[in-house]
Amino acid sequence: MTTRGTPVRCAWAGDDPLMIAYHDDEWGVPQHDDRALFELLTLEGAQAGLSWTTILRKREGYQKAFADFDAAKVARYSPDRVDRVVLDPGVVRHRGKIESTVANARAVLAIRRDHGSLDAYLWDLIGGPAQHAFRSSADLPASTDASEVTSRELKRHGFSFVGPTTMYAFMQAAGFVNDHVTTCFRWRELGGTKKR
């Protein structure tokens, strides 16, 4: 759908070129790469209490600080390395969130050992992609039964900063659900169909 040649997007994309690119190219696209899934888990956890724009502006800093989200490398971070990341202005300098990323990397490795890949584990656990038909961003839930189950299961595996609301944002970002609104051009491109 377009308005005078401009595609209609979800309102949250606003007019920031970085947010528009993220909305148009990434958000809601089913993700099956372990590195990218670990990145999204990390960024969604880091976003808690902050705007997504803030996190997107620091994304390159996160990629540098966390070895391009190579879980095997991040899992080996020493306390000294964590201290250096805490001082890095390229990331949100919250010690708990940074230590969580290292612990979560170790949990990713355990899941790979037990389930083959983070991708296989998450898609088996969550299912999807689920197709929703919300007319407005105001209609989107903050969490769902599926995000609560996912949160609980990831915590059981040793993950942190994966509460139900964070997990629903992760599910939206990684394409486990299609939560583009029905007027957004991406909703149909990602498989949205109106119920009859």
Active site residues: 22, 44, 52
Contact 179, 172 (CB under 8 A): yes
- Token pair of 39 as six digits: 């990145």
Residue bearing tokens 């964590």: 82
Residue 74 backbone dihedrals phi, psi, to 5 degrees? -65, -35
Judged by DSSP in three states, 117 sits in coil
- For residue 141, the one-letter residue type is P
Peptide bond into 141 cis (omega under 30): no
Nearest in space to 45 (alpha carbons), one of 117, 98, 121: 98
